[in-house]
Amino acid sequence: MGGHSFGYAASMTERPASLEALHRHLADLRDGVHGGAGTRRDKERLFERTVTLLDPVASRVLAEVDDDLLLGSGRVEATGVVRRRDGGVQALWTLTWPDQQRAGLPPVELRAHFEASFHHPHLRGTTVGDWPLNVFDEADAEGQLPVLRVIAAADVHNLVYRSDWSLIPAARSEH
């Protein structure tokens, strides 16, 4: 596959956050741990800390979408960590707005989830699939900012696809 580096040299000492997350993900799978934790209970404790660290970043991402695309008409909510009936745990950050609700569409959602059958937690959106969630400190949480922005933007796009462009207040005011 050629010698293209696409702006990233393997000899660099610092990886992009997205690649660092994948490296940690693969090491966890290889080593049978998550952030050094081996038991489900210890992994859930880490997940609770992860949600606390991720909360300001996820809330900021949805507030950005609300301010820019929804012209402040939306509402951002967070659940904190919630145990699911199937034994898993999750935390949701959601963005709802009147047009989305009138259209009967789900909210834009950032979901941190640790399914009962999973080795470790993941991130996802309403319409966007899973991404490894390896957040153990504030820098890791901040490193997820681009990932969360992409998940939120993709969810907005996919909800527009299910409805139409008029779902987004900013699009109506741009002509």
How far is 131 from 113, CA to CA, in rounded Å? 10
- Total domains in the fold of the chain: 1
Residue 8 lies in a domain: no
What are the residues whose beta carbons fall under 8 Å from the beta carbon of 140, sequence distance 6 or more? 17, 53, 134
Segment 146-159, tens digit of pLDDT: 999 999 999 999 99
- pLDDT (tens digit per residue) in 90-142: 999 999 999 999 999 999 999 999 999 988 899 999 998 888 888 899 998 99
- Flag whether 55 is in a domain: yes
Distance CA 82, CA 85 (A): 10
Asked whether residue 145 is assigned to any structural domain, the reply reads yes
Q: Residue 149: give the domain boundaries.
A: 39-173
Tally of residues, the chain: 175
The pTM of this model reads 0.84
- For 7, other C-beta atoms within 10 Å of its C-beta total 6
pLDDT at residue 72 is higher than 80? yes
Tell me how far apart the alpha carbons of residues 15 and 140 are, in angstroms, rounded to a whole number: 12
Does some domain include residue 33?
A: no
In a domain, 24, yes or no: no
Estimate to the nearest angstrom the gap between the alpha carbon of 126 and the chain centroid.
Answer: 10
Would you say residue 2 lies in a domain? no
In a domain, 21, yes or no: no
159 located within any domain: yes
Between residues 68 and 161, the one the model is more confident about: 68
The full DSSP string for 63-129 is HHHHHHTSTT--EEEE--SEE-TTS-EEEEEEEE-HHHHHTTPPPEEEEEEE-TT-SS-EEE-SSS-
